[in-house]
Amino acid sequence: GYSYEGDVWAKQKRFADAAKSYQQSLQLYAHSETALKLHAARMMAGNVKEADADLARWLLQHPREQIVQHYLAESYMRQANWKLAIPQYQLILSMYPRDIRALNNLANSFMSAGDLAAARATIEKAELFNAKDAEVLDTHASILAASGDAAGAMNKVDAALERDTNNPNIRLHRA
């Protein structure tokens, strides 16, 4: 029904119409995929604040939807909205304390917000859970570089590149 209708509108780049259809679908059946489609349609229609606020409200009713929690946090990161990204990742970690992706992105958010001490403590915690994750090593390298530790940063980025030789971001950081 309405979800398919929203898909058709979205393919036609009629994002406001797609959002209306997805909203109708969500009223009938609260499904995380539809909530994500609604958010994306609203974002593409230029309603960023409405999209984020509605998804945050939806998550209050469905707090264990880890994928949607990450999606919202990453939306905040793309907007460089560290005041919302940081608590969103902290919320995810309160439910899933060993979530490497959340730890890594929280460390990136702290670094981008200028809190290098919190960034370093967070990325070190991520490394305790998975010391071989290339993204974690790369983030640690960025934090060390921002802290003025060029040698430590090079060691971490080299380790990251050993684990993921095809990652263009890591290769760029090594260049």
pTM: 0.87
- Residue 174 above 90 pLDDT? no
- Mean per-residue pLDDT for 23-48? 93
**Residue 45 has what pLDDT?**
96
- Residue 36 above 90 pLDDT? yes
Mean pLDDT computed over every residue of the chain: 94
* pLDDT tens, residue by residue, 52-101: 999 999 999 998 899 999 999 999 999 999 999 999 999 999 999 999 99
Contact 52, 83 (CB under 8 A): no
**Residue 72 has what pLDDT?**
96
- Residue 172 above 90 pLDDT? no
Q: How is 27-78 classified by DSSP, letter by letter?
A: HH---HHHHHHHHHHHHHTT-HHHHHHHHHHHHHH-TT-HHHHHHHHHHHHH
* pLDDT tens, residue by residue, 68-80: 999 999 999 999 9
